[in-house]
A and B are shown apart, each in its own frame.
Chain A
Amino acid sequence: MGLQSLTLHINGEKRVVNVRFADTLLYALRGNLGLTGAKPGCLNGDCGACTVNVDGWPMKSCLMLAVEAVGKEVTTVEGVKGEPIQHAFVENFAFQCGYCTPGFIMNCRSLIQHHPDADDAKVKEWLESNICRCTGYAEIQQAVKSVINKE
C-alpha cells in the first residue's frame, strides 16, 4: 500500500504520477498533474462534470481508479485544441457558468467520433450522462447537432 508510481498516457504524453491505488483518475489528474479541466462534482458518477475520454470513449474520471488507466490513452479537455465541438459550444452559447462544459465537451466529442451520423435519440441517450445546473441543455444539444449536421 502507500504511494505507487504509475505511468499514465495523458493527452499524448507519458506522465508519471505517485498515487494510492485507492485514488481515482480524477484525483490524479487534478491533484498530481494540475489538469483541472475535469471538474469534481458529485464524485459519484452521476453528474458527468469529470468526464474525460479513455481510449476514445467517455469516462467519468471519478468512477475510474488511476491504476485502471494504466495502458489506456486518456484525453482531458486540455488535450482538445480547437476542435469543431469547442467552436460549436461558443457559437451556440452552450454554457452559462461553465462548470459542466469540459465534461459535456468530452462526452460530445466522443459521440461525434463514434456516431458521426447520430440521430436525435442517440444524441439524447449520450447527453443524459451529464448534468448542467444552469439548465443550458437546449443550447448544448444545438451545439452537438450543428457539428453532426456539418459532418
Chain B
Amino acid sequence: MLPFDFDYYRPKNLQEAVELYRHLRQSGRQPMYISGATELITLGRIDLVFTDAVIDIKDIPECREIGFDGDYLVLGSALTLTAIEEANLFPLLTKTSSEIADHTARGKITLGGNICGQIFYREAVLPFLLADSQAVIIGPEGVKVHYIDELFQKTLQLGNGEFLVQLATDKRHVDVPFISIKRRQQWETGYPLITAAALKIGGEIRVAISGLCPFPFRSNQMEAAINRDGLSVENRVSAALTVLPEPILNDIEGSADYRLFVLQNLLNDILAELDGINS
C-alpha cells in the first residue's frame, strides 16, 4: 500500500499520453509515466518516489510492439521482460534480462521501466548499448530518434514530458557471438554485484558493465584496451582496468577492491569466450 494518493490514467495512444502529461503539469500536478509500476510501488512505499498523477502507458500499441520491421528489431518499452525472453528475438537481451530480479517479477517489470528506473543496475540497457540501438522517444516536441549511446549518459536523458516508446536494433547485430555473465554477492539468488555483457561485431569485442559504477556503461577506452593487438590477455585486461569510469561502487554488496577483482575475472572470462570466435 502506498502512503500517498494519485489519479490514474491509461491513455490509448501516444498523443493522448503526451497531452495528458502537459495538461497535468500545467495544472500544477506531478505526473509520472509508468508501465510495469514496480518501481512506483516498491520505492513509493518507502517515500523515495512520489507522484499525484500516474500515466500508465502499457496499453499504447507502439509501446507493445515486438518483432522485425525491415532491417530492425523493434521492441516496445512496455513489453515485460518475460515477454521478451519468451520471444527470444535478441539472444543477448534474453540472457541478460533473464538474470534481472526473478521470473515472476520479470512478468511485471518492463523493458522501459528497467532502463529508465532509479536503481543503478538497469541491466536491460546493456545489450542495446552494445548493439548501437536507436531509442524512439516521444514528448511535447513529437517523436525523436537517437542512438542510445548518445541518449544514455548514466541515465536515459529524457526531457520533461518525454518517454521511451521503442528500441530499434539493426538485425545484423542481434545474432552475433555474445556472452553475458552476472556475478552475485552470494550464490545464484543474492543481490547483483556486477553484470558484464559482451558482443563481438566485425572482429572487435564490445563490453558493457552494470553494477561496477552507480550507472551502467559502455566504454570506448575499455574496448580499445581489450581489443589491442599483440598484447597478452593479462595485459589487455590490466589496461582495461586503468581506464574505468568513476566512481567504483563501494557498499555492503561489495567493496570497490572486490568489485575490481570480480571485473578482472569477468573480463578474462569474456576474452576466453570471444577471443577466438570469428565475427
Binding site for B on A (CB under 8 A): 1-2, 20-24, 27, 43-45, 48, 51, 57-60, 62-65, 67-68, 107, 125-126, 128-130
Contacts and interface: CB of A to CB of B under 8 A. Distances in A.
Contact of B5 (A1, A63, A129): A1
Contact of A22 (B1, B103, B105, B189): B1
B262 interface: no
Nearest to A70: B10
Taking chain B's interface residues, is the majority helix, strand, or loop, or is none over half, making it mixed? Answer: loop
A29 B189 CA distance: 29
B189 A128 contact: yes
Interface in B171-207: 188-189
Contacts of A48: 102, 104
Contact of B4 (A2, A22, A60): A22
Given A21-B6, A63-B105, A65-B37, 7 more contacts: A22-B44, A24-B1, A44-B42, A45-B101, A51-B104, A58-B107, A130-B104
Interface string B142-185: 00000000000000000000000000000000000000000000
Contact of A65 (B41, B42, B102, B107): B41
A2 B5 contact: yes
A64 B105 CA distance: 10
Contacts of B6: 1, 21-22
B89 to A, nearest CB: 19
B38 A63 contact: yes
Contacts of B41: 24, 45, 62-65
Contacts of B102: 48, 128-129
A21 B54 contact: yes
Contacts of B94: none
Q: Which 7 residue pairs across A and B have the least CB separation, nearest first?
A: A129-B104, A22-B2, A129-B102, A21-B8, A1-B5, A58-B104, A129-B103
